Amino acid sequence: MPARLHAFSGLAAGVAVLVGSLVLVGWALDVGVLKRILPNLVAMNPVTAISFVLAGASLWLLRSERRGRGARGLAAGLALLVCFVGLAKLVGIAFGWENGIDGLLFPRALEAEASPTGWRPTPRSTSS
């Protein structure tokens, strides 16, 4: 792999893991500035943040020069998990199903986030 592409892939992987991790810390510690990529935007959903971390980790594993069969398998598994989350969300939107994937992490904090703004980072759950 050319050196520039190798460096860029490492940077992209690191940024994805860093952004996802910071957002998760923001949700865990209720730090509003960490929940958003940019000010005045809605908060990133924690499941999306997990997907960022998994995608970055997958890319990092694949860019390694000495990756073995195990590392490739783990990278593919992480990428498949990210695809599953995205597909579940897309199918839910397309068919109007509330599959609850957006509310898996920090459900009370997500609900509190929606209260002042009226915006919901996740659909309202029917089971309470």
- For 75-91, the pLDDT digits (tens) are 999 999 999 999 998 88
Q: Which tens digit of pLDDT belongs to each residue from 97-128?
A: 877 777 777 777 777 776 555 555 555 444 44
Global confidence as pTM: 0.78
Residue 101: how many CB atoms within 10 A of its CB? 19
pLDDT of residue 92: 85
Token pair of 53 as six digits:
């971390």
CB-based contacts of 92: which residues, under 8 Å, 6+ apart? 98, 99, 101
Contact 92, 85 (CB under 8 A): no
pLDDT > 90: percent of the chain: 39
End-to-end CA distance of the chain: 51
